[in-house]
Amino acid sequence: MKKYIIKGGNKLAGEVSVSGTKNVVLKAIIAACLTDEVVEIKNVPLISDFFIMLELVKEIGGKVKLSGHTVKIEVKKIKTTRIPLEMGAKIRTSSMMAAPLLARRGEALIPNPGGCRIGARPIDRHMEGLMRLGVESRYSSNDGYFHLKTKELRGTTYRFSKNTHTGTEFLILAAVLADGTTTIENAAEEPEIDDLIALLNQMGANIKRKKARTIVITGVAKLHGTSYTIMADRNEVVTFAVLSALTDGKIYIKNVEMENIKAFLSEFKAAGGIWEEKKQGVRFYMKNGIKPRDITTSAHPGFMTDWQGPWAIFMTQAKGVSTIHETVYESRFGYYEELTKMGAALEMFTPKVSAPEK
């Protein structure tokens, strides 16, 4: 059994390059399956989910060539429209393979997706959107599969009743090769979605964000290959920023896109944090201790739910009481018991929320 032994009490110094973001690379792999030409994806993070998705590409008949942090994907012909149950259970993104399977073969067998257990993550909105595009959907509890079929994907207008990052990407991927125009309303506006849009447009798609939460996709007959470098992972940036600030260190973080972490920067500054941008990267540090803060997680452009774990550790060293109100996933405080074992003074509570249905 693998384990890590950490001896604390050291200042951290040096330079680190931020990996490409997981939330783009997994969707970029699916985008590559929408064409029969070679798609080269650069700056890929070498994480377990990435390798599972590559195995999924090979499962449906694709070829994969990985060299360092660059992968080339070619799916000349889709040989099977069934995603194995065991692979679907490993990773949530597996369900999004329905997009290329439906677009290129007109059918898909997709298992109920797995993934990390941070709370309820239903895909009913995804399936409802697919049906609006002309897909017949039936879930069988006997085999655990969604049985999807379509004679032709057709453009539609669909409004998400509740904002969804993955759902927005799913419908974009399904609509790029549909006949006609698709308008997605109340779409998510995370920068990772815009990075996926940029990749698809470079492959020949016609996608425009008309307003912050409205995306219009004009279907095209065919996509082609391309070479694309995915954006840096802003979750990784925030993790290293907190590490540097907590250890009185001098970590210079490369490839930081400051515009994408504005909500974090605002809270970090209010907590007494300082940053400096130099040629070797961005350094985050403290001068006069850490001030307590009350934060509420939300969809972009708010404070990301992914950031609240590192932020909680940051606030254990603040002079006073801080609160974190999680509004996205109900099981995001899985670290609570582990931190209390290490001496953190944490207390769980449920605050009263006005108009909770909104």
Bridge-based pairing state of the strands 136-140 and 145-149: antiparallel
Reply yes or no: is the peptide bond before residue 100 cis, omega within 30 of 0: no
d(CA 44, CA 53): 12
Task: Concatenate the DSSP letters of all residues of 136-179 into one string.
Answer: EEEEETTTTEEEEE-S--B--EEE-SS--HHHHHHHHHHHTTSB
Place of tokens 């990996």: 19
What six digits make up the tokens of 154? 């057709």
Q: How far is CA 196 from CA 149, 191, 283, in A?
A: 25, 9, 28
What six digits make up the tokens of 102? 């439906």
For CA atoms 186, 192, 193, 198, the dihedral sign is positive
Q: In what order do the strands lie in the sheet with 107-111?
A: 107-111, 145-149, 136-140
d(CA 284, CA 268): 9
33: annotated active-site residue: no
Q: Check 13, 15, 42, 116 and give the catalytic one.
A: 116
d(CA 19, CA 302): 22
Q: Quick one: which H or E segment has residue 282?
A: strand 281-286
d(CA 178, CA 104): 11
Catalytic residues: 116
